């Protein structure tokens, strides 16, 4: 079964063709340059770019997969969560294609895409697993007993991890996109230069919180009164990253203990971060967990993860009606 997957929930216009677990093509057009002058994603600009680019990106995905639209068995598109205007473009494009071609249409939850991206590269991921999504919009930890079932164990109470990376990067004058830039600086800094405390939530909670560390960084930067030397930037970046990644690792360990599950999947844009990848690997080696993290192109937003989930749902006959609408905020259940 060959599925065309379309993803436009934020600032990447993406399309892919996936056959079972094989990626035949995975085309991603990043809008980073268009948003950079504004220091973050501007929703209207994102929508306008999706409108302009989606036809060419879908064509490119088909061309790279060496397949015609007629040979596609189903069309999947992200319908939630994300920027409403951005979601609508990919969703409507996918529905229109499916309607014209008389093919099944499958609306996919972006978070379900992230949680399943790992299956595109691994046959041996074991259920139940603890699935942690760390992205620009989410820091959500799920217990996943089987495909299609997601039990939320914990989530951020304020900022998502990627959002915190982007905000601290902005404070440090690193611009946009903040996450990868902050990571680069952090690797050159002293992780112990600033003591940033881990938030204390109630005993047993598996939730996250990153607004406190963001404020702490803001106060440290303010004290400097504009004198942000390269060393200072690198040291604060390193200290922030140290606290944030240690917190994540600590939560994963707690969740594994609480649930008795030792299969871990870490995914989403921030899972592209090398320090986070290394620390979760060390944790898994020390504790005897099994860990799966997608390769970087499958951690960040892409159409392949949407196509994969679409294919799985099509097999279960879970086809979406053409009345399916975009939903900006939603929980995965
Ligand atoms: O999953 P994603 O591509 O889009 C969303 O669904 O949000 O994640 C984007 C987020 C951004 O906040 C970006 O700064 C962060 O992931 N990110 C990183 C890295 N690469 C992307 N954060 C830290 N280190 C990275 N290497
Ligand atoms: Zn995402």
Q: Ligand 1: which residue has its CA nearest to atom 7?
A: 136
The neighbour count for residue 315, using CB atoms within 10 Å, is 12
User: Residue 178: its pLDDT value, please?
Assistant: 94
User: Which atom of ligand 1 lies nearest, measured to the CA of 162?
Assistant: 12
Question: Which H or E element spans position 85?
Answer: helix 84-101
Task: Give 279-299 pLDDT, tens digit per residue.
Answer: 999 999 999 999 999 999 999
Q: Please give all residues whose CB falls under 5 A of ion ligand 2, grouped by chain where several chains appear.
A: 135, 301
Nearest ligand to the CA atom of 110: 2
Percent of the chain predicted with pLDDT > 70: 100
CA gap 152, 18 in Å, rounded: 28
Q: Ligand 1: which residue has its CA nearest to atom 3?
A: 300
> For ligand 1, is residue 208 a contact (CB within 6 Å)?
no
User: Which atom of ligand 1 lies nearest, measured to the CA of 274?
Assistant: 26
Helical H runs in 102-189?
110-116, 161-171, 178-186
Task: Give 254-265 pLDDT, tens digit per residue.
Answer: 999 999 999 999
2 in helix, strand or coil?
Answer: strand
Q: How confident is the model at residue 33 (pLDDT cuts 50, 70, 90)?
A: very high
Contact in structure between 16 and 62 (CB atoms under 8 Å): no
Contact in structure between 251 and 140 (CB atoms under 8 Å): no
User: Which atom of ligand 1 lies nearest, measured to the CA of 110?
Assistant: 6
Chain centre to alpha carbon of residue 78: 13
The neighbour count for residue 246, using CB atoms within 10 Å, is 15
| Mean pLDDT along residues 150-174 | 97
**327 CA to centre of ligand 1 in angstroms:** 21
User: Residue 77: its pLDDT value, please?
Assistant: 99
The answer, yes or no, to whether residue 226 has pLDDT greater than 90, is no
| Mean pLDDT along residues 232-242 | 98
The token pair at 150 is: 């997601």
**150 CA to centre of ligand 1 in angstroms:** 22
Which residues have C-beta within 8 Å of that of residue 222, sequence separation ≥ 6? none
The token pair at 259 is: 């649930």
CA gap 111, 141 in Å, rounded: 11
> For ligand 1, is residue 247 a contact (CB within 6 Å)?
no
Q: How confident is the model at residue 331 (pLDDT cuts 50, 70, 90)?
A: confident
Contact in structure between 177 and 222 (CB atoms under 8 Å): no
pTM listed for this prediction: 0.96
Task: Give 64-73 pLDDT, tens digit per residue.
Answer: 999 999 999 9
The token pair at 124 is: 């041996």
- Angle between helix 211-223 and helix 161-171 axes, rounded to 10 deg: 10
**179 CA to centre of ligand 1 in angstroms:** 6
Nearest to 296 by CA among 262, 259, 271: 271
Contact in structure between 81 and 133 (CB atoms under 8 Å): no
The answer, yes or no, to whether residue 238 has pLDDT greater than 90, is yes
Strand order in the sheet with 22-30: 22-30, 12-19, 2-7, 74-80, 105-109
N-to-C CA span, the chain? 26
Q: How confident is the model at residue 267 (pLDDT cuts 50, 70, 90)?
A: very high
Question: Which H or E element spans position 275?
Answer: helix 274-287
> For ligand 1, is residue 154 a contact (CB within 6 Å)?
no
> For ligand 1, is residue 179 a contact (CB within 6 Å)?
yes
User: Residue 7: its pLDDT value, please?
Assistant: 98
**28 CA to centre of ligand 1 in angstroms:** 14
Q: Ligand 1: which residue has its CA nearest to atom 14?
A: 179
> For ligand 1, is residue 270 a contact (CB within 6 Å)?
yes
Q: How confident is the model at residue 243 (pLDDT cuts 50, 70, 90)?
A: very high
User: Residue 333: its pLDDT value, please?
Assistant: 78
Task: Give 165-215 pLDDT, tens digit per residue.
Answer: 999 999 999 998 899 999 999 999 999 999 999 998 999 999 999 999 999
CA gap 288, 284 in Å, rounded: 5
> For ligand 1, is residue 183 a contact (CB within 6 Å)?
yes
Q: Residue 24 to residues 2, 27, 111, 295, 304: CA-CA distances in angstroms?
A: 9, 10, 22, 16, 9
The answer, yes or no, to whether residue 154 has pLDDT greater than 90, is yes
């Amino acid at each position: 079964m060959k599925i065309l997957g379309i993803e436009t929930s934020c600032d990447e216009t993406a399309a892919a063709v996936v056959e079972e677990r094989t990626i035949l093509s995975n085309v991603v057009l990043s809008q980073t340059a268009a948003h950079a002058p504004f220091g973050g994603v501007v929703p209207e600009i994102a929508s306008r770019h999706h409108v302009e680019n989606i036809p060419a990106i879908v064509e490119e995905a088909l061309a790279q997969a060496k397949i015609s639209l007629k040979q596609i068995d189903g069309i999947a598109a992200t319908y939630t969560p994300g920027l409403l205007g951005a979601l609508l473009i990919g969703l409507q494009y996918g529905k229109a294609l499916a309607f014209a071609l008389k093919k099944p249409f499958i609306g996919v939850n972006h978070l379900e895409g992230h949680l399943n991206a790992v299956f595109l590269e691994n046959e041996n991921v074991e259920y139940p697993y603890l699935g942690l999504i760390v992205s620009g919009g989410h820091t959500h930890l799920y217990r996943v007993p089987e495909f299609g079932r997601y039990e939320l164990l914990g989530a951020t109470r304020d900022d998502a991890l990627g959002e915190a990376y982007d905000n601290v990067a902005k404070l440090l004058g690193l611009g946009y996109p903040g996450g990868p830039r902050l990571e680069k600086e952090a690797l050159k800094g002293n992780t112990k230069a600033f003591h940033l405390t881990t938030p204390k939530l109630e005993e047993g909670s598996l939730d996250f919180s990153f607004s406190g560390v963001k404020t702490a960084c803001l106060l440290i930067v303010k004290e400097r009164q504009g004198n942000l030397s390269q060393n200072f930037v690198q040291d604060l970046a390193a200290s922030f990253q140290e606290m944030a990644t240690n917190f994540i690792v600590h939560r994963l360990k707690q969740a594994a203990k609480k649930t008795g599950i030792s299969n871990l999947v870490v995914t989403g844009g921030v899972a592209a971060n090398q320090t986070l990848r290394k620390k979760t690997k060390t944790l898994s080696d020390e504790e005897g967990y099994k860990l799966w993290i997608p390769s970087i192109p499958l951690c960040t937003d892409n159409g392949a993860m949407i196509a994969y989930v679409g294919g799985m749902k099509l097999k279960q006959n879970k086809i979406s009606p053409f009345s399916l609408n975009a939903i900006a905020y939603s929980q995965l259940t």
